[in-house]
Amino acid sequence: MNVLVAVKRVIDYNVKVRVKADQTGVETANVKMSMNPFDEIGVEEAIRLREAGKAEEIVAVSLGPQQCQETIRTALAMGADRGIHVKTDEELQPLAVAKLLKAVIEEERPGLVILGKQAIDDDSNQTGQMVAALLGWPQATFASKLDIGDESARITREVDGGLDTVDVRVPCVMTTDLRLNEPRYASLPNIMKAKKKPIAEKTPEEMGVDITPRLKTVQVIEPPGREAGIKVESVAELVDKLHKEAGVI
C-alpha cells in the first residue's frame, strides 16, 4: 500500500512567538520555520512501514505558500519518495485543508493517511478528523502504536485516562502523538538525493475546492503576562508562605 503524509510548515517550536502590533496575527517575517513536529513523526512512521515491507510509496503533501516546498524537501530527505504541493497564499483553515487533502487522496488512493494530531501554530487538532469524515474513512487519533495489515489496522491511542486500542478498517486516517516514534535526522547523502525527487504542484482553483476561511479572526493579542514572584530561602519559608500568605494549603 501507499502512504500519504501531510506535512505543515510552521514556526519552529523553539521560537518565542510575538504578536504583531496591529493585532492581526503573529510576526512571521524572519522567523525560523520548520516542519510541524507531529508531522515529522508521521513521516518517520511511514518510512518505518516501508522498511518493514508494509508500505511501498510514501507521498508527502504540504499546502500553503511557495516555501512549503522546503518542508516537503525535508520529508523527502528523511525518506519520502515524492511530494505534492498545493500552492496558495491565502489563509488555510483546517476545513479547507481537509477538503484539499480529500481531493489529493481520491487521486492518490493511499491505504493509510497520516497527519499530526495538532499543528503547533493554530493548535486546532481538527484536520485529520475532518479528512476522515469527508472520505467516510475511520480515524485513529493521537496514535502511539500502529500495527497495520491489508484489511485493518490496530492502533493504540493516547487518551486522557491512559491508552485505548481500536481496530479500524483500511484505508484509514491516523493522527500522530508524540510517543509514536522518534523521528530520524536526514543524512547528508539523503539530503542530496532529495533534491532530485519530484514535487508536483497544484492549486486549489485547479482542484475546484473553495478555501474561503470560515472563521473570521477579529483580533490577535498577547495574553496577560504573569508577574514573576519571589524566591524563598528554605522549605520552611515556602510552606509558611503557602499556608499563611497564599492560603492554598
Partner 1 sequence: MAVLVVAEHDNAELKEATFNTVTAATEIGGDVHILVAGTGCRSVADAAAGVAGVSKVLFADDAAYEHHLAEIMAPLLVSLTGNYDAILAPADTFGKDFMPRAAALLDVAQISDIQEVVSSDTFVRPVYAGNALATVRSEDATKFITVRTTAFAAAEASGGRAVVEEIAAAENPGISTYVGSDVSRNERPELTSARVIVSGGRGMQSGDNFYLIENVADKLGAAVGASRAAVDAGFVPNDYQVGQTGKIVAPELYVAVGISGAIQHLAGMKDSKVIVAINKDEEAPIFQVADFGLVADLFDVLPELEKELEKIGL
Ligand X SMILES: Cc1cc2nc3c(=O)[nH]c(=O)nc-3n(C[C@H](O)[C@H](O)[C@H](O)COP(=O)(O)OP(=O)(O)OC[C@H]3O[C@@H](n4cnc5c(N)ncnc54)[C@H](O)[C@@H]3O)c2cc1C
Ligand Y SMILES: Nc1ncnc2c1ncn2[C@@H]1O[C@H](COP(=O)(O)O)[C@@H](O)[C@H]1O
13 near ligand X (CB under 6 A): yes
Contact 31, 15 (CB under 8 A): yes
Cα angle, residue 55 at apex, residues 49 and 61 outer, rounded to 5°: 90
| Whole-number Å distance between alpha carbons of 249 and 241 | 9
In sequence order, which residues have a C-beta less than 8 Å from that of residue 124 and are 6 or more positions away? 94, 118
29 near partner 1 (CB under 8 A): no
Helices (H), 52-126: 68-78, 94-108
What residues numbered 122-181 form the site for ligand X, per CB under 6 A?
none
Of 7 and 186, which has the nearer Cβ to ligand Y? Answer: 7
The stretch among 104-112, 121-129, 136-144, 241-249 that binds ligand Y (CB under 6 A) is: 121-129
127 near ligand Y (CB under 6 A): yes
117 near partner 1 (CB under 8 A): yes
Counting beta carbons within 10 angstroms of the beta carbon of residue 235, is it exposed (0 to 12), middle (13 to 18) or buried (19 or more)?
exposed
Q: How far is the CB of 171 from partner 1 (least distance, A)?
A: 10
Cell of 133: 469524515
164 near ligand Y (CB under 6 A): no
7 near ligand Y (CB under 6 A): yes
Tell which one of 8, 141, 202, 211 touches partner 1 (CB under 8 A): 141
What residues numbered 68-107 form the site for ligand Y, per CB under 6 A?
92, 94, 97
Tell which one of 2, 34, 62, 139 touches ligand Y (CB under 6 A): 62
What residues numbered 31-90 form the site for ligand X, per CB under 6 A?
37
| Whole-number Å distance between alpha carbons of 60 and 65 | 15
Q: How far is CA 161 from CA 98, 157, 158, 230, in A?
A: 28, 11, 8, 35
Per CB under 6 A, residues contacting ligand X are 13, 37, 120
Per CB under 6 A, residues contacting ligand Y are 6-8, 36, 38-39, 62-64, 92, 94, 97, 115-116, 118-119, 122, 124-128
